[in-house]
Amino acid sequence: MSCAICEKRREKRFCPAVHGRICSQCCGEQREVTLDCPSDCVYLEQARIHEKPRDFSELDQSALFSEIEIPEQFLYERQQLIMGLSYALARSARADRSLRDSDLAAALTSVARRIETLVNSGIHYDQAVANPVQHSVIAELQKMLQEYQQTEQKHLGYVRLRDSEVLRALVFLLRMALGRTSGRPRSRAFIDFLLAQFPESNRALAGSEAAGSIIVP
């Protein structure tokens, strides 16, 4: 039997993305490129285990907001904020299975750029997002930030969260997204990481101790 993709080489393994048998070369070349590989595919899982982490020095530094420093102390002080934003991303991914790592990264970048402008100039500006999928992720992030501020107002009598702290949290998650994704067009490695942190059975509010923990990349 020949491979269901190239129709030249001999088939070696079953591919759940095409519901047929394919050769190992097509599996390696088309994985998360033209194939929407399900997260439980054993060959995808094996590939992720053996893949080397992405080298940040090879990425566009402007995309990483390299000028923004994120002290380790900040990660401890604002752990609940980071957890809340992470939960918002996971909730978006669970609601829309077509989302990919690139969509989450684009949404984080969009919100971070807006907050960066606010921090640097005091100007509120919203950049139009043509992609409706990314727009839904942005809406979830903004909703979570509003809920976080409302909680602070309720318990403290004022909002303590600063825009510069929101920016750091967003940039931290963006760097994590870019570090954990494979970089392939249809990669969902970062999404799968988030979903593992917030299992579907866990409906606790964002930031609760039951929600798990974020691992520093």
How much helix, strand and coil, in percent to the nearest 5, is found in the chain? 55, 5, 40
CB within 8 A of 83, min separation 6: which ones? 206, 207, 211, 213, 214
Percentage of residues of the chain with pLDDT beyond 70: 89
Tokens of 188: 């969902």
Mean pLDDT, residues 80-87 taken together: 96
**Neighbouring-strand partners of residue 20:** 15
Per-residue pLDDT tens digits for 17-28:
999 999 999 999
pLDDT at position 53: 80
Could you tell me if 58 and 209 are in contact, meaning their C-beta atoms sit under 8 angstroms apart? Answer: no
Task: Look at residues 156, 169, 171 and name the one whose alpha carbon lies nearest to residue 105.
Answer: 171
- pLDDT tens, position by position, 152-161: 998 899 899 9
CB 84 within 8 A of CB 148: yes
Angle at CA 190, nearest 5°, toward 186 and 191?
A: 80
Which pLDDT belongs to residue 214? 42
pLDDT given for residue 158 in this prediction: 86
Please state the domain extents for the chain.
Answer: 1-51, 58-211
Instruction: Compute the average pLDDT of residues 58-66.
Output: 85
User: Cα(200)–Cα(198) distance, rounded to whole angstroms?
Assistant: 6
Checking if the pLDDT of 205 tops 90, the result is no
* pLDDT, average across residues 180-190: 94
What pTM did the predictor assign? 0.87
